[in-house]
Amino acid sequence: MGKLTTPDWIKEGYNSPEEYAKAKGTNSGKSKKAQEKTVKIRKCPKCRSNKVNVVLTGEEGKGAREWECRKCKWHGKNIEKEELGEEEFMKYLDENGEEVS
């Protein structure tokens, strides 16, 4: 392992990497979507339902590799994942009739 070096933003006297990136006109490798809070939703690839559970089988600690849909009884490994921002997630909850506490 190589030596650790002091980041440029500290060497140049900035208080944070974001302040440094703003002054230099870069985005410091982060996109706007990555900066906002996101929620990951898993969906069944067959019926597109979000009512999926992980199947716990095999030895403990080996990890779960199978999923099952409670709606259409699908079993498999290739679950669909969808990433939603805060506004999209609130709209998704409203459409599905979920209550927000």
Instruction: Give tens-digit pLDDT for 49-95.
Output: 888 988 877 666 666 678 899 999 888 888 899 898 888 888 888 88
Q: Which residue type, as a one-letter code, is found at position 24?
A: K
Distance, CA of 96 to CA of 86 (rounded, Å): 15
Backbone angles phi, psi at 80, to 5 degrees: -90, 135
Give the residue extent of every domain in the chain.
31-96
pLDDT of 101 over the 70 cut: no
CB-based burial label for 69 (10 Å; 0-12, 13-18, 19+): buried
